[in-house]
Structure 1
């Protein structure tokens, strides 16, 4: 059987470059230019791309027109000026970038979109200037910046001036971050070279379209230089996400909804958090905390896999939550989850240790024992919250930091110490709650806060009682005795000043009535945020410093 392939005159059909399926063009357009057979995301023009990410009819192009000149009088097989004119005629664009203002989910943004059809989306002087102007406009208007990127890299025909656009755009993006204006970079296929190594990877949030190839040097260049076989999926969005370089990988039809949610959950609150209904549930007097459980029995309740996890609390407390991923260095640690969310109208950055309810999830999340990349992810999100003016809420539930050769080689101690020091510098309110087991520096790394709370049947300790017993007695059998000696329970820790308040739990623990327990925690967090809302950055840092400065029992001689 012979199949005739479409010709240039047969405009109703198109050959998918990924699977070689012959696709009916009207259907391809209806599907957002995603192959219905294999899911390959075809490249889009700037106009088509705008139609996929901004609200219909909302785009208003910038008034100025920026075009690259010919600073080198460059000629290869043809003069650069001829190539520019041909690209302008073919695309209808002045250069490889379109920018202006638009709305996404009804929220105003500054948006810039690259078009690969214009000289491979390469960055010359015009692209660098336009990106910089977009950053400056976003800063001037205090509007989020959305960049949609598709580029082969720097534009060779402009020589060193093209190279300088990397510095120009990088400093513009950093200035935007320093001033607390959200930037989101959407990386599409392909994103390479000097564009990737400058503004494209400097966004507060990095989102990649499914299947996009992203890197510095191209795969063929790398293979030729190293003479090595490249790993499967090398430089794909999914490959990079697995190595902590991206926050999200989304299908094309998921980009606009995700951007709309991001804009919504990161918008600074216009008023202080509202007080909850009725009195605060937080207990501040140890004498009010009575119970019949021994410390070790309390520990067993805290470890019960039926207890609500961090994600359970997050989704109960937040009307929306956008999980972000990766430490931008090594990987994404599923033992720590985090991202912006909204609690009763108050946008926050919420971060927590995540364990799980079943064996599969417990193993996948390493029982909540975080590796260095987890703490680096947490600190990255806290610093993003600081720039955007979002309070930080953390949920602590871990026996400690992950032990192991890999964790040590990747700098476990350095990651924890940087997390602690970074939290001390935040200029936004920080509220931490121990929801299960708070173990060692792995727990404290998320708990250097203005307000530290714990649930009634949670525990918090320098070491697990079993490990303490093993070190002191040679076996873990003295764990119950050590649990009592270490004073790991809420009444003792409240008496010592380690925690500021205790959130009551239902009889038998949060696992016996999760809805009630989660409601109490939400009320306690909102109450703490309301108490801290009147303090400025300097006051919050000072209060946090003095809170921990005053802890300890010692004698002066």
Structure 2
């Protein structure tokens, strides 16, 4: 069990820093390296840049930048240790011509990325830059392709690539290698965007609203995974690498003899009683489940922040590194609906699992997707469809956990999986029972009757092929949260251990599984 690093908990710090949006990052490249790596562990990979440019004015600018910063280019690269783990670093220096990227800068970055790939090292890039170097024109601009190609090769090799966007990160850097991290982190208050505000105003004749290019705004829209103060970055990277560096135990053969889905009509929970129990405000949700069961945990930002309806995390569960995306049930008085932005974040998290080669664990616990004109404008139904296809096609193992409420398309969006585990009182229905009653009887008075008639309970879902294991509640997860989470955590670990089949076999079995859904066993 691990309390984890909650990178979404830095909201106050981030909002305070946002007031200084226009101020460049205060830390130099060397200072940031000093904050990150174990003392004395950094070794530079940098070689001297080629001879001076022919243009005397540009040459003088380079000389002044070198004298001012003590660096010979706008980026520092090398190898450092973070809690004893080797990490390749690419660190920009804003004091050197605004961190701009020239041809020599790009070559240094590219060589560092290629070396990290060759040595199979995780790579952490920490850009701060106004973009490509105007003195070098299109040649420097085209080098964004060079860097991006090297980064893509690194990612395709299954190696971690993390980025930490500092204030400011703009233009070609932001639009290429700066935002290609499997995790994209950002400095509080950082200005991040495609076009700088001064250029925007000159070209368009109007000012760009200040908060549009703010790190926190990008996090709210799912474009940044976490807004992290520099002093907290080392711990976040340490825990992230601890998760990604965990060697899973050997695969386990499925134990078909143990089938916790059985039960007579007398012992199975009443469907309506289960609905009411899953609405208890003290019932453990996704966050509590992770905090009680994960050996390592890094909670990432999601739309709506800590009060939102979605939880995203890297975790070690049952000794296995995984990516987690789950719905966070809330009390009715503080209910935030599951939105189109949440669904886009689900897909992004699923693709993160695929990029990292890790199993994906989804957790379903929702009163339903947002029902509003705004949701329709944002294409919430289309986002549900895209979630379904993304999970069905995902190349890594997928385990779904039906934790509590499973209402409508918002629940269905997280259910395509190789295996499904369900809590004893969990349920799945096209609508809340009150909604079904309104359609069938034109009132809500028959909700209990409809809940029992529609076969929404976990054991009935096992009979129609959705649920593979029902984890009992004795008698209610809200009354025994620690013991219940422990049982569910054991089931998750056991099931993950049985999902290590070759990719082609697993995908074929997944397709066959969904072809049979709805047929009674």
TM-score, normalised relative to structure 2: 0.89
223-232 or 460-469: bigger deviation: 223-232
Q: Pick from 20, 45, 54: which aligns with 2:28?
A: 45
Alpha-carbon separation, structure 1, partners of 2:266 and 2:115: 59
Equivalent residue for 1:427? 395
Cα displacement (A) at 1:178: 2.4
Q: 1:54 to 1:467 in 2, by over 3 A?
A: same
Q: Which has the larger radius of gyration?
A: 1
Q: Secondary structure at the match of 2:147?
A: helix
1:128 aligns with 2:111: no
Q: How many residues align?
A: 503
Equivalent residue for 2:13? none
Q: Pick from 520, 526, 529: which aligns with 2:493?
A: 526
Equivalent residue for 1:494? 462
Q: 1:281 to 1:518 in 2, by over 3 A?
A: farther
Checking the alignment, whether the CA contact within 8 Å between 1:275 and 1:527 is kept in structure 2 is no
1:246 aligns with 2:224: yes
Cα displacement (A) at 1:67: 4.1
Equivalent residue for 1:269? 247
Equivalent residue for 1:543? 509
Checking the alignment, whether the CA contact within 8 Å between 1:114 and 1:148 is kept in structure 2 is yes
333-342 or 53-62: bigger deviation: 333-342
1:277-335 per-position Cα deviation (integer Å, ceiling 9, x unaligned): x9998613244x743753212211122222111111011111232122357xx999921
Q: 1:531 to 1:344 in 2, by over 3 A?
A: closer
Equivalent residue for 2:95? 117
Q: 1:313 to 1:207 in 2, by over 3 A?
A: same
Q: Pick from 303, 310, 313: which aligns with 1:336?
A: 310
1:149 aligns with 2:127: yes
Checking the alignment, whether the CA contact within 8 Å between 1:281 and 1:520 is kept in structure 2 is no
Equivalent residue for 2:42? 59
Equivalent residue for 1:353? 327
1:342-372 per-position Cα deviation (integer Å, ceiling 9, x unaligned): 124321111110023583xx33xx1xx3111
Q: Secondary structure at the match of 2:405?
A: strand
Q: Secondary structure at the match of 1:146?
A: strand
Equivalent residue for 1:177? 155
Alpha-carbon separation, structure 2, partners of 1:134 and 1:443: 43
Alpha-carbon separation, structure 1, partners of 2:514 and 2:96: 57
What are structure 2's unaligned runs of at least 5 residues? Answer: 1-15
- Runs (4+) of structure 1 exceeding 6 A deviation are 37-41, 273-276, 278-281, 330-333
Q: 1:377 to 1:473 in 2, by over 3 A?
A: same
Equivalent residue for 1:513? 480
Alpha-carbon separation, structure 2, partners of 1:302 and 1:339: 23
Q: 1:198 to 1:49 in 2, by over 3 A?
A: same
Cα displacement (A) at 1:260: 0.9
- Where do residues 351-390 of structure 1 align in structure 2 (5 Å cutoff)? 351-357=325-331, 359=333, 362-363=334-335, 366=336, 369-390=337-358
Equivalent residue for 2:424? 456
1:439-463 per-position Cα deviation (integer Å, ceiling 9, x unaligned): 2221121111111121111111222
1:403 aligns with 2:377: no
Cα displacement (A) at 1:503: 0.6
Q: Secondary structure at the match of 1:135?
A: helix
- Where do residues 207-286 of structure 1 align in structure 2 (5 Å cutoff)? 207-228=185-206, 230-231=208-209, 233-272=211-250, 283-286=260-263
Checking the alignment, whether the CA contact within 8 Å between 2:364 and 2:401 is kept in structure 1 is yes
Cα displacement (A) at 1:520: 0.8
Q: 1:332 to 1:314 in 2, by over 3 A?
A: closer
Q: 1:204 to 1:542 in 2, by over 3 A?
A: same
Q: 1:299 to 1:280 in 2, by over 3 A?
A: farther
Alpha-carbon separation, structure 2, partners of 1:211 and 1:181: 29
Checking the alignment, whether the CA contact within 8 Å between 2:302 and 2:311 is kept in structure 1 is no
Alpha-carbon separation, structure 1, partners of 2:286 and 2:257: 22
